[in-house]
Amino acid sequence: MKIVQISDTHLTAAGGPTEDAFRLLSRHLNDEVRPDLVVHSGDIQVLDPDDAADRAHSRELLELIDAPLLVIPGNHDVGMPGMNAWAGISVTDQRVGAHVAAFGPDHWRHDADEAVLLGINSELLGSGLQLEADQWRWLEQTFGDLPEGRPVLLFLHKPLWSVTDEPVDHQVDVEPVARDRLLGLVDGVDLRAVGCGHLHRYRQVQRGRTIEVWAPATAFLASVDGELPDSRQELGYVEYTVAGDAVSAKFRLVPGMPQLTVDDVPEIAKAIETMTAAL
């Protein structure tokens, strides 16, 4: 089974380089890779989760991918938990509801012959919303009902394990209480991979029988506070192979995709200007 994970596409109704990159990616996946399944691990739209035009255009662009597509939200799709949410944009019921209306459930289970895939909304973890309690209840039921002998792959937007010991101005990984609770749930299952996005970098770390995979962005390279050892700062995607009991993941480049920085995407500055004016 071949699974592709894409992440951090940052698409906007204004078009521009991030859309060009996504169109190139979709053609590459359709014509050359031909995966059995594609998972988008969040930050689908450019910056503002309240921009309905960005959301609608992003939905249209995702339809360019021929393979079955499963989506989970990122902080730029539904907002962020915690006291120091980026740009003050916190996750809310309304933002999650708008995402679900456009892209489908924000958490899901997909059963294939070779593996079980689970996707969760990391932006609810630590939010205190009723939606978080609903997701925890679903997680407990789901982990208690997984078939034996089939690998489990878990996808979420933010890294599950701590990224850095350096202080940062907003959340870059799942907060510790939620992390410990989630790790307690997965302890009893054959968890073989945890794939995330958010950091715009690729990294793979072996954690027992589980591989932790950071997916690169397709939109632009981005810097983060603190050091991120052993990470690869290139645009691309991740290709997972499930063969019997073996699960592996590899970084893949998209032929012809330019390695853009945020300064190469003027639509980012425009989106920030529009958001700031609305606050």
Per residue in 91-122, pLDDT (tens digit) is 999 999 999 999 999 999 999 999 999 999 99
Distance of CA 264 to the CA centre of its chain: 22
pLDDT over 80 (residue 278): no
Per residue in 181-213, pLDDT (tens digit) is 999 999 889 999 999 999 999 999 999 999 999
pLDDT: which is higher, 269 or 30: 30
DSSP string, 156-213: -SS-SS---SS--SS--S--HHHHHHHHHHHTTS-EEEEEE-SSS-BEEEEETTEEEE
pLDDT of amino acid 225: 54
CATH number among 3.60.21.10, 2.60.120.260, 1.10.10.10, 3.30.70.20, domain 2-278: 3.60.21.10
pLDDT of amino acid 167: 59
Assign 56 a pLDDT band (cuts: 50, 70, 90).
very high
Per residue in 139-159, pLDDT (tens digit) is 999 999 999 889 999 999 999
Question: Can you tell me the mean pLDDT for 19-40?
Answer: 98
Per residue in 71-80, pLDDT (tens digit) is 999 999 999 9
CB-CB contact of 45 with 58 (8 Å): yes
pLDDT of amino acid 169: 62
Per residue in 214-268, pLDDT (tens digit) is 999 999 998 765 567 789 999 999 999 999 889 999 999 999 999 999 999 998 8
The full set of domain ranges for the chain reads 2-278
Per residue in 165-179, pLDDT (tens digit) is 765 667 889 999 999
